[in-house]
Structure 1
């Protein structure tokens, strides 16, 4: 049964919302803390489906993980021996958890089966598996060659060099870098393609530096020294900048004032760039502190042309912003989104045309030609079980009457209380 969420139009409002901790930083911090010599307390973590899956899997692998009653911190005492034994892990709908765990498993010994939901088992993983086999892992496909489920036989790494693909996903490289300090020797990580979504590699490298990793940039990749993590005892997770983007966009397109709490000043997340883009379109910053920002939208704004290769998660939100601009917009260098689960570019085009939007494909992106107010019509927007599409499409309903979202519960993947915060718009 499809769970629908109906949206009421609303403009020129004033409200206050709070965003959760960063998913990208929380997943990375869980791996880094599990590899640390001393217990680590993660402050302001995200709690979502992906994070719950990661915690369950790391716990099965011998790490002791304590979640505070108020869910404001997580304490991790890592399994220092990393003798995993024979285990079966289920990563649910999370491709990132699956990828990060494969490299983590390479730091120890065990026979580990990894399975997932049909959404994740339908995604090819052969190129990453081939890379991990170069390290000495024995990996067996249990059903269809090139896809989950897989069984990993790890006795630790046996090579000091690995070539990691990066054309379609930066998560392969992040996965290897996060665990490489705890492989059996120093390791040279070669990148075989231009890395997409590079802003996420920047997050990985910054957090590795914070935890004490020793990494050198080389001509063809990175040299990672074998190092213990023994300096960090507490680590603060920033607010999620992608989650903030929906409310920054809401303020812009409805000429409204929104205060966003848990908004990190000078964030290390690439999606922080969304604020700069909104400012260029006319969004005004009314007040700013270390942990919050208050913004004011505008009555109208022009279209844009952007290269979003470094920050592809912003494409759905900016597509909605483009719908209500005064002139056409183009989004470039995001062809890799056609390989993301449901093909986000096709999903965006399909759903915006459903409400009479004008969207055309570009070789590496999309073009959106806005129409006059009143031209768009309401309807049920399919979310394709994609949290970012669901949250982005919710913005349409603030401007177009009769919009509702199918399968709205999919937002629980990264922002479980999104619609509770969204309802503040109507108070």
Structure 2
């Protein structure tokens, strides 16, 4: 299936109720499971990833398929390793291509019993859950933050607690800190000093919890506004002082011509003028927004040089390759100057005829390219239902704001 997206006029205004944070929802679900809590989780995300987590945690089988849900795969690998029983954890074809050896090695080093059913270092996994003693593990700091968060979530339940020593540059530190802050809300104390994180053996408190709105999902509306001629949107559900690293998008989008104003329950965003000639930014703390900004900057004809993108190749797809390939269809010639970098120097070529944006089974490709409809008629996006992974209501909200979304 393909969607053709278009809009009459280049003005956007209205109200958008944002989805709940997938990242927070999945962390809280694991904490509730570890503490055997029956306290409610309010405003739990209804995206595919969070549904997959919920269904598995309440399942009565021992074989689990996470589909495309990467966070669910990483968090459950750690969780199941300490739940007594024999478990099989698998996923989609793409999930079987996403490495998990770093996490498995770390868990096995502290007493877990995890083996590979097909290719070494990749799902599917066989997990023999048992009592893990914990103590100390060492990881590269530039590995996926989800590996580190998976270990942290089970850390307080381990007999000896856990010390994680991170070597070299720490990427996506904001996601690690988000995990620790959520754990603190549930009564767990930790220390994060320099390159070491320590969590002692202690109990999670059973408390009711309300999940805040998703800043990653909100980013696409900032992009729509940046590409509009004029407009104003109210984004309902965001917290200014958020645990989410993606909340750092506000000053970057200000450079691209979007003014942000805080309200009690969200944010007002408004189109303003900008004189930005080139955008340089280190996405170390919010790598999931690289697609949003790359597409937006190109459409605004603003050259850019992005760094801190080391983890983008092991996401739902190789996002560096995907961005270079799909933006080339629109006539933008991007490059990868070095590992973890993406750049556009302003070079253009003839755009393709009848452009169809491929999404590579990656929700953020569909979401990041949708704002192109502000400047180009009848943008066509392949497999648009991939947005269900994080933002199931996205296309319906576009229609409510005056966009035409048709099956092509």
TM-score by length of 2: 0.92
SS at match of 1:361: coil
How far residue 109 of structure 1 moved from its aligned partner, in angstroms, is 1.5
Within the alignment, does 1:139 sit opposite 2:137 as a pair? no
How far residue 339 of structure 1 moved from its aligned partner, in angstroms, is 2.9
Aligned residue number for residue 51 of structure 2: 52
Contiguous gaps of at least 5 residues in structure 2: 404-408
How far residue 221 of structure 1 moved from its aligned partner, in angstroms, is 1.5
How far residue 375 of structure 1 moved from its aligned partner, in angstroms, is 7.4
Residue correspondence of structure 1 range 227-238 to structure 2 within 5 A: 227-230=202-205, 232-238=206-212
Within the alignment, does 1:396 sit opposite 2:372 as a pair? yes
Within the alignment, does 1:4 sit opposite 2:2 as a pair? yes
Residue correspondence of structure 1 range 325-340 to structure 2 within 5 A: 325-340=300-315
How far residue 17 of structure 1 moved from its aligned partner, in angstroms, is 1.4
Indicate the larger mover: 210-219 or 264-273.
210-219
Q: For residues 242-275 of structure 1, what are the alpha-carbon distances to aligned partners after superposition, in whole Å with 9 as ceiling and x for unaligned?
A: 0000001111211321111112232221101112
Classify 1:162/1:335 alpha carbon distance in 2 versus 1 (closer, same or farther; 3 Å).
closer
Aligned residue number for residue 176 of structure 2: 201
**Whole-angstrom CA distance in 2 between matches of 1:375 and 1:387:** 24
The count of corresponding residues between Structure 1 and Structure 2 is 398
Aligned residue number for residue 66 of structure 1: none
Within the alignment, does 1:290 sit opposite 2:264 as a pair? yes
**Whole-angstrom CA distance in 2 between matches of 1:223 and 1:300:** 45
Contact 1:164-1:172 within 8 A present in 2 as well: no
Classify 1:301/1:408 alpha carbon distance in 2 versus 1 (closer, same or farther; 3 Å).
farther
Contact 2:279-2:304 within 8 A present in 1 as well: yes
Residue correspondence of structure 1 range 304-323 to structure 2 within 5 A: 304-323=279-298
Aligned residue number for residue 351 of structure 1: 326
Indicate the larger mover: 158-167 or 273-282.
158-167
Contact 1:396-1:403 within 8 A present in 2 as well: yes
Once superposed, what is the RMSD of the aligned Cα atoms? 2.1
Contact 1:113-1:151 within 8 A present in 2 as well: yes
Aligned residue number for residue 275 of structure 1: 250
Indicate the larger mover: 12-21 or 403-412.
12-21
Indicate the larger mover: 20-29 or 274-283.
274-283
**Whole-angstrom CA distance in 1 between matches of 2:14 and 2:240:** 20
**Whole-angstrom CA distance in 2 between matches of 1:213 and 1:226:** 9
Aligned residue number for residue 74 of structure 1: none
Q: For residues 402-423 of structure 1, what are the alpha-carbon distances to aligned partners after superposition, in whole Å with 9 as ceiling and x for unaligned?
A: 3110000000000011111112
Residue correspondence of structure 1 range 57-206 to structure 2 within 5 A: 57-60=56-59, 87-206=62-181
How far residue 356 of structure 1 moved from its aligned partner, in angstroms, is 0.9
SS at match of 1:124: coil
Aligned residue number for residue 248 of structure 1: 222
**Whole-angstrom CA distance in 1 between matches of 2:240 and 2:302:** 31
Aligned residue number for residue 213 of structure 2: 239
Aligned residue number for residue 362 of structure 2: 386
**Whole-angstrom CA distance in 2 between matches of 1:381 and 1:301:** 29
Contiguous gaps of at least 5 residues in structure 1: 62-85
Residue correspondence of structure 1 range 208-219 to structure 2 within 5 A: 208-219=183-194
TM-score by length of 1: 0.88
How far residue 358 of structure 1 moved from its aligned partner, in angstroms, is 2.7
Contact 1:360-1:367 within 8 A present in 2 as well: yes
Aligned residue number for residue 224 of structure 1: 199
Indicate the larger mover: 208-217 or 20-29.
208-217
Aligned residue number for residue 77 of structure 1: none
Within the alignment, does 1:35 sit opposite 2:69 as a pair? no
Contact 1:139-1:150 within 8 A present in 2 as well: yes
Within the alignment, does 1:362 sit opposite 2:337 as a pair? yes
Q: Greater RCO between the two (CA within 8 Å, min separation 6)?
A: 2
Q: For residues 162-187 of structure 1, what are the alpha-carbon distances to aligned partners after superposition, in whole Å with 9 as ceiling and x for unaligned?
A: 22344231100000001110112222
Classify 1:45/1:38 alpha carbon distance in 2 versus 1 (closer, same or farther; 3 Å).
closer
Classify 1:192/1:229 alpha carbon distance in 2 versus 1 (closer, same or farther; 3 Å).
same
**Whole-angstrom CA distance in 2 between matches of 1:371 and 1:378:** 21
Contact 2:313-2:319 within 8 A present in 1 as well: yes
**Whole-angstrom CA distance in 2 between matches of 1:323 and 1:370:** 8
**Whole-angstrom CA distance in 1 between matches of 2:352 and 2:370:** 14
How far residue 291 of structure 1 moved from its aligned partner, in angstroms, is 1.1
Contact 2:4-2:378 within 8 A present in 1 as well: yes
